[in-house]
Structure formats: structure tokens, C-alpha cells
Structure 1
Amino acid sequence: MKEKLYINGEWVEAEQYAELFSPYSQEKIAEIPQASDGQVDAAIDAAYATREAMANLTAYEKAEILEKLVVLFKENRMRAAQIISLESSKPLKFALGEVDRTIETYKFAAEEAKRIHGEMIPLDAAKNGANRLAYTVREPIGVIAAITPFNFPMNLVAHKIGPAIAVGNPVVLKPASQTPLSAFFLAELLEQAGLPKGALNVVTGSGRKVGDRLVTSDKVSMVTFTGSPEVGIGIRNKAGLKRVALELGSNAGVIIDDGVDLDKIVPKCVVGAFSNQGQVCISLQRIYVHENLVEAFTAKFKEATEKLVLGDPLDEKTDISALISRKEQDRAKAWIDEAVEADVQLVTGGTIENDLLLPTVLVGVAPHLKVSCQEVFAPIVSINAIQSVEEGITAINDSRYGLQAGIFTNDIATAMHASKKLHVGGVLINDIPTYRVDQMPYGGVKESGNSREGLKYTIEEMTEMKLVIWNQE
């Protein structure tokens, strides 16, 4: 299958193509166009020329396009999930869950399109404000460059495209190199939904080439990026004065207090650690368990982990499949080996069988080891004993990341204390930090990012506030 770029409402061939292989089977699944500099510029120009048409759409018209998209995704639910599984090796059960969340995200975007408004400002509260009427309005910021990751190739794209359409901003989308098929599929559906030509453009190619051209273009008003801190910081440094929204990495932790029900907690933690092979920004990576429970927790966690089904992502029974690339698999295995060499206890996993990295549980992990202090993005989880919740809070905060964290406790005071002291963007009480629904304000502190996703909150970042003052004298 030879794909084409999507520029100004037309499907365009490229001069060069790259082969796309399944991470699981290593079979060739498509040929992906590599956009030239001129084609990236053409996509930017198309979006730029569509600004007025998009800005002139009424709230009703924008919501209607998004509602039609929701219907189309519902009609193509299985096809969408199979595309995700094929190109990313996300097990089908989780791919279907992603499609369902994608549908919700665009539904929320349709609803928020009708709620974009400003406020009245009481100027007469000031000494010199008499006889003046003031109000604010929110206007589209302009062309959005959206650079998206492989791990949620439909829903994380939806978190950028949905609010952009709701506002009336045209977009140039650069999807991850391993998961472009989801982006092309979205373009097909939005074409059917009646989105104006040029309002969405999809260009594929290397991040260094395509991404840099988008980030440095004077016609782009905002860059929204989800990915690694290193790339995100580079984007911010190159972007000049344009707005930059960054959703970056994490090594999410959870604290398990004494006295809680482990039978309820362990299944949640296993899902949080190993969903999508641990390739989730808020994947549960560090577990801090009260010393009175750590032995029982570890035994139950090991037992549940070893029941997970490994195999073909297109099989609905599969829980864990291949990492996104052999390179990532080798990197993750090297991090495990480093930990074992440092006398960390390997409870289960740690090996590669049938080209799949087994879900791995480590106990007694020093904070300086890569599996603890860096973002592991693989099916690897660390368990450490703590003497108190305060010790767990200190351990979680001892990180350059701060996206989400969780605590399981029966004590209200302890929960409130943790919610205040954990230095993260979101605190989950009696839940795993991997929990997310798509209308909540999602984002982090420190090297986990500088913005909040969640439709209402993204819309605020994708608009400019304008103040209007009428002198009535």
C-alpha cells in the first residue's frame, strides 16, 4: 500500500518513500511518503490560506463537522482499531479502547465548540472607568503545527485536531514515523465530514526535516507537541515567540499505604504498568509499598503479571505484544540488565522470548538506576518498600518529571497531605496514575511539560484573548 500526503484537500505523491514495517511481525505494511521541503511549505501555505474560512465558520458549523466525525468513527470502529494495532502493535483490546476514547474526545470537542466565549469586565470599578463597556472575546490563534507520538496515534492526535477545529484553527499534522496510517485515516474521515480544504494537512517524514520546518515557519502561530523532553526543549528553543504547548515524559509513581486492600489494588497496578507494553506517558513505573505489605503485594503482583497473555496484537486475547521497535526493545533490556548487575531483585520477566520483552518486575531499585529515574517506556515496573507515606512522597518528588502520581490509603488526612505535597500535575487518590479521561486538565510540571490538555483547556491555549472597550460618552 503506497500512501500519499494530504495537502490542501488533495492526496499528493512524494518523490521519496520509506517502508513501514509491523513492529510485531516485521512484515512490510505500507510505503510512506517523505515530504520534501516544498511540500511541507505547501501544507503550511494551504493552512495559512484557510485561516479566514475557518475563522468564519459558526460554532454550529464547527460542532457539526466534529459530530459527523464522531459518527464516522463509530461506523469504522473496528477498522480504526486494526490500523492502530497493525502499525503500533498495541493489542487490539487496548486499540479498541483508544478508538472509544477518540470518539469521546471529538464529542467533547464538538460540545466545547459551542462554549467558546469571553466575559464582561466591570471597568467602572476603576476611578477612570465610568461610562465604558468592556468585554473579551476569544479568537483563533492561526495555523497550528501538531507533532504527535506513536503510542496513542488516534487519541493524542484528537487532543490536538479536535480543539483546533472547535476554535477554527487550520492544522498541519506531522504524525510519528511509525504510526502515520492513523493520521491518513483521520484525513479521510474529516474529508467526508466536510472540513474545508486546507484546514487539515498531513505531512510525513523525518522529525528533523519536517518538524523543524514546521517549528520555524513564520506562518505557524502555535506548535503543539507530545513526545520526549529532549525533543520538546529543542522545539521550544527553535520556535521563537510562537506559542508552544509541550506534553512530555514521566516516570509515574504510586504510594501504597498500610492497611489497604491489596486484592483491589494489584489488578489496577498491573494494568497501569503493562498496558500498551508500558508505552504510556503515565504508565505506572515506580511502586512504593509500605514495608508491612510489600512482601504480600509483590507476590500478588508477580502472580497477576505472569498470567498476562503475550502475542499477536490483532488477537483479542493478547495483553502484551511487541515494543514499537527492536531498538527500543534492546534499550529496555539493557536497562534491566544494568539493574540486575546492581543487585536489584528480578522477580519475573527480564528476558526476550519470541521477540517479545516479557513484562518485568524489579524489587529494591536504587533511584539512580535508569529503570527508576528515566522514562522506561517499556513493560518494566519497580517495587520499593517504604516505612511511611512521607518517604514515598519524597521518592516520587525526587524526579525531573512530574506528570501524575497516585496514592492508595484509607486515611483522609494522609490523602489530603499527599495531594498537597506531591509535585505533579495530577494526583490520583485511591487510583493509579495511569488513569485519564479526556475532558480533564491533563499535563505536568518540571520536565513533564508546560501545558494542559483536555478540550476546554487546550481551546484556551489555541485562542488569543481580545479586549474590546466601548467609550459611551
Structure 2
Amino acid sequence: MTDITPFWLAGEPTFGEGSLDVHSPYSGDLVGRVSLATSEQIEQAIAAADAVQAELLGLPAHVRAKALDHISARIAERAEEFAALITAENGKPLMWSKGEVSRAVSTFRWAAEEARRWSGELQRLDTDPNATGRLGITRRFPRGPVLGIAPFNFPLNLVAHKVAPAIAVGTPVLIKPASATPLTALLLAEIVAETELPKASLSVLPIRGGQMDAVNTDSRLPVISLTGSDEVGDRIRQAAPQKQVILELGGDAAVMVEPDWPDLKAAAERIALFGNYQAGQSCISVQRVLVHTDVYDAFVPLLTEAVQALRTGDPNDPATQVGPMIDEQNAQRITEWIAEATRAGATLHTGGGRQGTQVEPALLSEVPASTSLGSKEAFAPVMTVIRYSDLDEGFRIVNGSRYGLQAGIFTTKVDVAFRAHRELVVGGVIVGDVPSFRADQMPYGGWKASGTGREGVASAMVDLTDERILVLTGLAL
């Protein structure tokens, strides 16, 4: 019988009532069994976070930074274990799991560095006569304990982006991991428990869906940080309008290919890979490929060939580039969307077949906007190709989406890059590459239905805190 993995309640491994089975999306094999928290234990975790606020905030910066450095180092030491676990419960190929672990190492390292320089600002107030001798010191303080709700697609690094900034600013955090992928977050909690932080600094609780409404609205958790769907984000925002709600939501990321780009084959290969990495289950995987009419006829065959060349299959094979989707329900959904698009007149250039949770990477063109694939986030290994005639039309198409997370543009022209930065209504514009690029220290987040607030350690630290000014009087400035 498979052992049951405990959750972490206020820094202690704990068992609740009932359990959750975690299965491999690829093989269906049982990966692990996780204990579920009771309502009473959830209350204990929230109360503990509330009670430990002052102690955690009072820790010197070097203590918080040391803890973050320790977490970063221990993830690096156990990198193979983390990568294997991510692949087992998430299904992403090992090559991507290893990359996620490396990013988590960096995320906690960045947080340690930010914790050391989290100092505030000085402001002279004697610019007016009535403030002679006065100096303002503005510092940021935590709004209160954080509820972090994590998705399945990056079960380590997106948990890290909630835990690391919270520790850096000195506030406790309660993590609700995705039901499909709780094991990685629980392993991370084990490492956090090794530090000298107060035990109640972190709880990681697998929670039944029906219990979340009460958690979301609990006033002792004044900050909610969700990475997930825009539907869930809307529900949380409506249920807790008085809270600081940070939402990293969906996207149908677009990339533009301008005629000045010198290597169309390399661009096609890059787009093909990052339209299908994580089986397309990334908010910034390429979904819409906009190609200038001058290079469209040359580019589409190159992109088709690059998609066909991707290695699919067993995620434990180091050569596999595209693994399974998270479950069969979503795999079936996307094949139905592809069928709907082709019935409506779209051209299927390649892919679209399905075997269980494995979906063959698909590329379509002339997809009507009235179809699901033409109007919604696919979150699957599928891309659509769109022809545009000039920048005005291209930018108009990119901005025509209800989402606005990141966009990419393959161009060598600096003026085009700056115009894209000004006119594309997205949180980030990536020049010379796909929109899927993300460095973990950079501000990351969306406009429109793609969310509010920013990740990236320093940016998240701002979102978790608020300003408080101290005015000193009678100084010889």
C-alpha cells in the first residue's frame, strides 16, 4: 500500500482525514497519496499565521536572507529528486522539469538578495517652508498573511514565487497547491522547515474544493495570490473585494514575425518548441502566430516542419520535448476544439490526433474568431497562424484578444520594438524571441483578463506590502 504523505501545518508534518491520490498524467500510475486537511486544521493554520506575524516581521534581514539562501541551496542539492517528482505528478518532460528546478533555485536566491536590500526611501520634506527640518522615511510593511493558490503547470517554481517574496518581506504564507500536483509543494515545505524561520511561517495544505470559499474570504488572510484561470480569479475577486488580490491568469500569447527577421527557420523552430513546451500548458506558450504577408508563404511550411519534428512521448525520456496533458478531459477538450475549427473552415496543417492524454502538436490556419480555438485560451499543444499586412494590422490583431500577458516579435528594428512596447496592451513584450521567455527577477504579469499585480520577486514584494511613512522633525538638514 502506498504511504500517505503528510501536509505541513504551521511547519509541522501533519495528517488529516481522508486522502488524495496523485496519478501520472502519462501512465496513469499512482505516484503518491496525500493527506487532506480538515476544516479544523485549516483554521489552525490560519490562526497560526495570524499569530506569528509580529515575530516574523521582527526578524533581522540577515535571518530571512539566510533562510532563503538555505532553501535555494537545498533545492539545488535535491534537484534530481525534485525534477523526477515534477515529471511524475505533472507529466512534463524531464528536460522542462530540470529547467523548472533551476528557476526555483534562482527565485529563492533572488529573494535572499532582495531581503538584504529591502530598506525604504528617504525624502526631504523641507522643500516648503512649513516643513523646514523635516525628513520622511518611507518603508513598506506586509499587509498581512498571504494565501497562495498555486496551479499544476509549474508545481515548484510558481509555489516559489509565492513563498519566496513572502519570506523576504517577513510575512507568513499559506499555500494551497493544485490537487493534481501537491507532492512537489510538500517537498518544498520540508526544506523550508529546515530553516530557523518561525514554524508557522509556512503551511502547505491540500484542501478540498468545497472548503476554499471560507479560506478565500477569511479576514486574517488579507492578501490572496492566485495563479490560475481567469474564471477562478473573477470568483475570488468578487468574493473578497476588500482584499489585496494578485492574479496571474490566462493568456493566448501572440508572436509576430516581421519580414526583416534574417533567419525564418530558426524563428519557426523556436516558435514550434515554445508553442508546445509543457504540452502548451503555460500561460505564455505561443498560441497565435502572426506572420507578415511578405514571408507568410515561406514561413508556414517551415513552422509546419518544425512542429512535426518535435519529440513526443514518455516524459522520463530525456529527448522528449512534448509530454501529455494533465488529464484526459483536457486532452479531449482540445481535440474537440480542433475539430470545431476545421468544421468551420480552418486548415489543419499538422497534428491534432490524440491517444489518451497525449495530444499530437497541432498547427492550424484560417481559424474563425467565432470558434473556441479562435477566441479562448487553448492551454494545449496547438497554435494558429494568422496573416497580417502591416504593423497596424498586426498590433490590432494582437490587441484584439481579451488577454494581455506577454507578446513576442521577431524583428531587428529598434523603432519597431519601441512601437510594440508602446502599443501592445500586454504585460511584457519580448523582442527577437517568443512570448514564453521569462526571467524570474523581472516583473511578470498581465493586462486585461490576464490579471492584476506582478510576480518577479521584487515586484511581488511590493504587491504584498504597503507604504508607511515616518516623519522626523527638528533635524538640521
Is 1:253 aligned with 2:265?
no
| 2: CA distance, partners of 1:387 / 1:409 | 15
Q: Is the 8 A contact 1:286 1:372 kept in 2?
A: no
Is 1:282 aligned with 2:253?
no
TM-score (norm. length: structure 1): 0.97
Match for 1:35: what amino acid? Answer: A
Superposition pairs for residues 190-201 of structure 1, below 5 Å? 190-201=192-203
Give the aligned partner of residue 453 of structure 1.
455
- Note the residue ranges of structure 2 that are not aligned, 5 or more in a row: none
| 2: CA distance, partners of 1:426 / 1:367 | 24
Give the aligned partner of residue 437 of structure 1.
439
Q: Is the 8 A contact 1:251 1:372 kept in 2?
A: no
Q: Is the 8 A contact 1:37 1:213 kept in 2?
A: no
Q: Is the 8 A contact 1:5 1:12 kept in 2?
A: yes
Match for 1:119: what amino acid? Answer: E
1:120-150 CA-partner distances (Å, limit 9, x unpaired): 2221113421222221122222211000101
Give the aligned partner of residue 74 of structure 2.
72
Count of residues in correspondence between the two structures: 472
Give the aligned partner of residue 90 of structure 1.
92
Give the aligned partner of residue 408 of structure 1.
410
Give the aligned partner of residue 307 of structure 1.
309
Give the aligned partner of residue 239 of structure 1.
240
Match for 2:39: what amino acid? Answer: D
Give the aligned partner of residue 18 of structure 1.
20
| 2: CA distance, partners of 1:320 / 1:192 | 35
Q: Is the 8 A contact 2:408 2:429 kept in 1?
A: yes
* Match among 464, 468, 471 for residue 470 of structure 2: 468
Residues 377, 45 of structure 1: alpha-carbon distance in 2 compared, 3 angstrom cutoff: same
* Match among 353, 356, 366 for residue 355 of structure 2: 353
CA RMSD for the aligned pairs?
1.4
| 2: CA distance, partners of 1:354 / 1:200 | 37
1:198-250 CA-partner distances (Å, limit 9, x unpaired): 110011023342x3222111211211110011111111111242211111110
Give the aligned partner of residue 35 of structure 1.
37
Superposition pairs for residues 296-375 of structure 1, below 5 Å? 296-353=298-355, 355-375=357-377
Alpha-carbon distance, 1:420 to partner = 1.4
Tell which deviates more after alignment, 449-458 or 463-472. 463-472
Match for 1:38: what amino acid? Answer: E
Match for 1:307: what amino acid? Answer: A
1:283-341 CA-partner distances (Å, limit 9, x unpaired): 10000101221222111111111121211111111111110011111111111111011
| 2: CA distance, partners of 1:92 / 1:412 | 37
Give the aligned partner of residue 52 of structure 2.
50
Tell which deviates more after alignment, 33-42 or 102-111. 33-42
Match for 1:430: what amino acid? Answer: G
Is 1:215 aligned with 2:216?
yes
| 2: CA distance, partners of 1:469 / 1:13 | 49
| 2: CA distance, partners of 1:283 / 1:307 | 18
| 2: CA distance, partners of 1:144 / 1:410 | 42
TM-score (norm. length: structure 2): 0.96
Match for 1:456: what amino acid? Answer: A
Alpha-carbon distance, 1:10 to partner = 1.7
| 2: CA distance, partners of 1:441 / 1:152 | 18
Q: Is the 8 A contact 2:331 2:356 kept in 1?
A: no
Give the aligned partner of residue 124 of structure 2.
122
Give the aligned partner of residue 224 of structure 1.
225
Alpha-carbon distance, 1:355 to partner = 4.4
1:171-193 CA-partner distances (Å, limit 9, x unpaired): 11000000100110001111123
Tell which deviates more after alignment, 294-303 or 357-366. 294-303
| 1: CA distance, partners of 2:299 / 2:389 | 15
| 1: CA distance, partners of 2:223 / 2:161 | 14
| 2: CA distance, partners of 1:26 / 1:14 | 25
Give the aligned partner of residue 8 of structure 2.
6
Q: 1:255 is paired with a residue of what secondary structure?
A: strand
Q: Give percent identity, aligned residues only.
A: 38
Runs of 4+ in 1 over 6 A off after TM superposition: none
Q: Is the 8 A contact 2:254 2:290 kept in 1?
A: yes
Alpha-carbon distance, 1:17 to partner = 1.3
1:416-473 CA-partner distances (Å, limit 9, x unpaired): 2222111111111111111100000111100101111111111111122111112328
1:37-56 CA-partner distances (Å, limit 9, x unpaired): 11111111111121122111
Q: 2:462 is paired with a residue of what secondary structure?
A: helix
Q: Is the 8 A contact 2:335 2:353 kept in 1?
A: yes
Match for 1:224: what amino acid? Answer: S
Q: Is the 8 A contact 2:273 2:307 kept in 1?
A: no
Tell which deviates more after alignment, 407-416 or 18-27. 407-416
| 1: CA distance, partners of 2:260 / 2:37 | 57
- Note the residue ranges of structure 1 that are not aligned, 5 or more in a row: none
| 1: CA distance, partners of 2:458 / 2:229 | 24
Match for 1:125: what amino acid? Answer: T
Alpha-carbon distance, 1:403 to partner = 0.5
Give the aligned partner of residue 419 of structure 1.
421
Match for 1:252: what amino acid? Answer: A
Q: 1:361 is paired with a residue of what secondary structure?
A: strand
Match for 2:337: what amino acid? Answer: W
